[in-house]
Every structure is written in structure tokens, then in C-alpha cells.
A and B are shown apart, each in its own frame.
Chain A
Amino acid sequence: MKILVCIKQVPDMESKFKVNSENTWYDSGDLAWRMNEYDEYAVEQAVQLKEQQGDADLTVLCIGPDRVKETMKKALAMGCDRGAHLQDDESHKREPLEIASIIAEYARDKEFDVVFTGMQSQDRGSGQVGVLLGEILDMSCVTTVIEFGFEAGEIKVKRELEGGVKAKVKTTTPAVLTCQLGLNTPRYPTLPNIMKAKKKELLSSPAADLLKVDSRQNTQTMYFPEKKGVGLVLEGEIADLTDELIKILKEKTGVLA
């Protein structure tokens, strides 16, 4: 079995963001980078499937500048066999169709049976890449997967819908699955596995060679939303803050009456 997991490197969402000088994206300086949270679940599921199959080969793919290799090393330490880094300093400007097209061209002749990815990225949040990849390569795609099973060539999953309802669906390989938070418990790489990962194949090649589509959209401007209806902000000593809040709750709500 051949498995592919596609990951993205994103800034820590708790970062102080700044807009870049062209006003088209966030400034990439002074940010802490990590694996997109949804993709951690995708990597874990891919590793679990590899372990279940025994005889399987698992590739982790990531598009971006050289710094994304650090995030790829985490995926290798979690259990991926090899890394395909598609080098692209402009990846933040690429719209979902361009990203999906690059991955599709990479994957086209490699006969992956199962492709995992996160259901969306934490920064751009489009949630399109997995679905588009499935459309381009004519593979079935199930999104928002919250439970995954594979038995006798059949993929059985649950999709998370609204209000806690799940839809049970099945499909066959080859298939793309986009992973929702809570699908599994992503493992922490152990020290021996981190050491082992250093010896694993991690090849870089230019993403531009694989880009076969024209962009259909771009970012005109990026900005901080206007703060609307921001209420009272309380700062200071804990003892004063609790008194102030209790006073407000008494005045404005019936709760402490």
C-alpha cells in the first residue's frame, strides 16, 4: 500500500501578527512555525494505517520555503518513511487550486492508494485542497473525517456534520480523506524516533515545475478587522478586578441578585 500525507506549516495562532508591506499577507518575520493542527491528525492516521498494513510506504509532502523542512522532520519522526519537499518561496500567495494542482502533478504517476490531509489550514482556512486534489485525479474524497477504518480494501469513515451528528460513509481506494480535529490522538515523536528521522530521505524539488494551472483569485488587501462592539476592558490587580466584575454583574445581569 502507498500512502501520502500532505501537510502545511503555519504560524502559531497565538502569534502577534503583522501585515506585510504589500498588504497582501501576514508578515512572516518573528513568527513561531508549527505543523497545521489538522495535519497532525492526518499524519497520525496515516502512520496508524501504515502500522495496520505492515507492508506500506508512507510519504509526507509539504509545499513551502526551506523552513518547512523542520515541520516535515516532525512528521518523519512520527513515522512517515520519506519526505517530498516541494520548494516554493511564494507558496503563501498560491490559491487552493494551485496548491492542489502541484500536489496532483506530484502524485499523478505514483499510484497512492490513500491520501490524507487536514480538512483546512489554520491560516488560510479554505478547506479546498483535499477536495480539489480528488477532483483533479478523479479519486473519491471524503471530508471532515472524525473516525477512520480500513478493512479488506474498503474505507469506512464517519464525517462530522453540524450539531454533533455524524454521517457513516464508505468508499474504495484510491481515496483522499480530509481530517477533522479529534480524529485520533497525534503521537509525540520520541527521542529515538527523532534521531531515526534524521536519516530518512527528505528530497527537495521546485514546486514551480509541477504547477500546471493559472490562479483564479488573489488577495487584494489583508488587514485587521475593525473592532466592533468591544466591551469594557478590565486590567489591573486581581483583587480589584474581581470586585469590579462582581459590581458589573450585579448591575447588568440578574445573576447575582
Chain B
Amino acid sequence: MKALLIAEYRDGKLLGGNNELMAFAEKIGAESTMFLVGNESALPAYSGKLYLADGNECGEYNPSVHKDLILKVVEKEQPELVVFSHSSYGWDLAPRVAYAMQAAQVSEVVDVVDSMPVVPVCNAKLRRNVKVTTAKAVYTLQAGAFSAAEEPTGTPEVEKLNKDSEGKIVFEGYEEAEKGGVDLSKSEVIVSAGRGVGKPENIEMVAALAEALKGDYGASRPVVDAEWVEHNRQVGTTGQTVSPKLYVACGVSGAIQHLAGMKKSEFVVAINTDKDAPIGEVADVLVVADLKQFVPALTEKVKSL
């Protein structure tokens, strides 16, 4: 089995998912080559062949330019599998590459069982094994699903590629994340509000518990989108990645994007009325209770200690 791994680079830096692509190739026993639009001064630690297109020449992500470059490599290497990270780069580019290759595309692969990719359904409540009926396939891998035991080492053998197409989409620059406010990455205790808090007035109760535990409060994406909590307190893929000693998730269902941001917490307490919520998967303690009753009661007891 030959796999082409699509590494990622943005704004002068390699992105973290690249090691997971290598771990995946190793897990399925594939012979791999790698593709990157990036820079020679920042090459991935990869001992194999790397097709490199220059990031300065190609500009930042442009779908059709990157697609055409990948298709050149596909033509040459004839991989059975093209593998991306399931990221804003991967989920945008993978279907385009798959369509051109007339290959099946399987999104957000979390495992491979009996040579079949496994993907989540309904917010990870269910899973399904996918039977691909084409000779070639394109996968995107869920962040964190395939991780290497050790940091990879090695220097790639580089073959350069030149771009020969222009895209229909014009890139006009990046807007950095809002700075200032709260840096949750250094908090020792975080109490987070999820959609289950029900209404904006209940954020106060979550903040009060955080204060009683001498920590900070955070929130999951739906709560931030509803503007109950400001964005700089959002935990998850599109917010902050945290690693406190104690993480208390109040009414957080546990979407994969949220889990990705908090799974390095040392101890996780989840408070939820739904015993089957995916947050239970990462919780050390799951309290099955109505948080509107439980949280204020806990706050009072902690204060009285």
C-alpha cells in the first residue's frame, strides 16, 4: 500500500498534524511519500521522499493551486491512499483532490479496523466502518486520533515542484486571534460552561464556582457563538488549548473540537444530565445532576471549607 501524506504549513510554520500523518502510515503499514507547500528552512522531521512546493511562490493556501500540485505528485507516485489532517486545510482540499482522482473520500477517520476506515457519526455518539468501493481513496484524519509514541526524526529527501496554475480565490491576509483577556493555558483550575447551562444568566453560577476553586471560567463553542461568554475564554480547536490540574465541564456535551482543547487536563469532572454524553469518555468523575442545583451547592460547600 502506497500512501501520500499531505503535510501542512501556514504563515512560515509547519503545523502539528504532520506527525500524526506519519503515525497513521506506520499504523497501517503503508509505504509513504510526503507533499508540502512550505519552505526548505522548515522541513518536517520525516525520513522519506518529500515533494516540496515553495510557499513564497505559491502563496498561502489556495485550493486549486494546491490541488494541481498534489495531482502532479499523484500522477507520478500512483498512491492508493492520499491522507490529510481533518483541519481547515484538509477538509477544504481533500474533496477536491478526491473528485479529480475519482476516488472515495472518507472524512475524519479515527481508526482503521479490518482495513476499513472508522468515522464518527452524530457528534461521536455513534461510529461507522466505511467500505470504500474504489481502488483509490482519500482520507482526512481526526486530530489526535493517531499519535506517534515518539517525536519523529529524520531528514527528507526533497524533490521540488513548481506551480503552473493560478487560483480563482485570492488570499488577502490573516487576522490573528483576539489577544488580551484571559490566558487559560496557564490556569490551574478551569470551570467551563457548555450549552447545557441553558441561558446566559447561568454563566454567573459557573464563574462563581471557578472563583471558589481559585480558578478561571471558560466555555465551549456554542456558548461563545451565542455571545454568553467572550471568545477569549473559548476552549477547543478554534479557541484555547488548556492543561489545568482540574477541569470542571458544566453542561458540556463533549464535541471533539472541545475535547481536543482540554484533554490534557490532569483531572476532569463532568456535570451533565446525559450519562451518555461524549464528555463522559474523558471524565475522571461524571456527576449526573442538574447543574443549576448542583453547581451552586458545590460552590457553597467549597467556600465553607
Which A residues fall within an 8 A CB radius of B?
11, 13-14, 16-17, 19, 24, 26, 95-97, 119-120, 122-128, 131-132, 135-136, 140-144, 156, 158-172, 181-182, 215-225, 227-235, 238-239, 241-243, 245-246, 248-249, 252-256
Contact = CB atoms under 8 A, between A and B. Distances in A.
B87 A162 contact: yes
Main secondary structure on B side of the interface with A = mixed
B175 interface: yes
A54 B100 CA distance: 38
A248 B294 CA distance: 16
A165 B238 CA distance: 8
A26 B121 contact: yes
A165 B121 contact: no
A144 B298 CA distance: 39
Interface in B236-290: 237-239, 245-246, 253, 266-269, 274-276, 280-289
Given A171-B168, A216-B132, A238-B294, A127 B127 contact: no
A168 B133 contact: no
A174 to B, nearest CB: 10
26 contacts: A13-B122, A14-B274, A16-B276, A24-B128, A96-B95, A122-B122, A131-B91, A135-B99, A144-B91, A164-B234, A165-B174, A166-B174, A167-B171, A181-B225, A217-B106, A219-B129, A224-B125, A224-B126, A225-B124, A230-B280, A231-B283, A234-B289, A238-B289, A241-B289, A242-B301, A255-B214
Interface of B: 10, 15, 60-61, 63, 87-88, 91-92, 94-96, 99-100, 102-108, 116, 119-134, 137, 168-178, 188-189, 213-215, 221-222, 224-225, 231, 234, 237-239, 245-246, 253, 266-269, 274-276, 280-289, 293-294, 297-298, 301-302, 305
Q: Which 10 A-B pairs have the closest CB atoms?
A: A164-B177, A216-B104, A182-B225, A131-B95, A140-B168, A231-B284, A217-B104, A168-B172, A126-B107, A166-B175
A158 B133 contact: no
Q: Max chain B CB contacts within 10 Å: which of A14, A122, A215?
A: A14
Given A166-B174, A220-B130, 12 more contacts: A14-B274, A136-B99, A140-B169, A162-B88, A164-B178, A169-B170, A172-B168, A215-B133, A235-B289, A238-B293, A246-B301, A256-B305
Contacts of B108: 125-127
B280 A238 contact: no
Given A216-B134, A238-B297, A231 B286 contact: yes
Contacts of A124: 121
B231 A217 contact: no
Nearest to B256: A125
Nearest to B275: A233
B197 to A, nearest CB: 14
Nearest to A254: B245
A243 B131 contact: no
A164 B238 contact: yes
Contacts of B119: 125
Contacts of A239: 297
B132 A167 contact: no
B125 A221 contact: no
A125 B239 contact: no
Contact of B238 (A26, A142, A163): A163
Given A126-B107, A245-B269, A253-B267, A162 B237 contact: yes
A79 B282 CA distance: 42
B245 to A, nearest CB: 6
Contacts of A170: 169-170, 172
A242 B294 contact: yes
Given A165-B175, A241-B294, A220 B121 contact: no
B126 A19 contact: yes
B297 A13 contact: no
Contacts of A132: 95, 99
A225 B269 CA distance: 21
A222 B99 contact: no
Contact of A169 (B106, B133, B171, B281): B171
Contacts of A227: 280-281
Contacts of A156: 172
Contacts of B189: 255
B14 to A, nearest CB: 13
Contact of B92 (A143, A166, A238): A143
A169 B61 CA distance: 10
Given A219-B128, A232-B286, A253-B245, A165 B176 contact: yes
A249 B228 CA distance: 28
Contacts of B269: 245, 249
B87 to A, nearest CB: 6
Given A167-B60, A215-B133, A255-B213, A181 B95 contact: no
B126 A222 contact: yes
A159 B133 CA distance: 33
A123 B286 contact: no
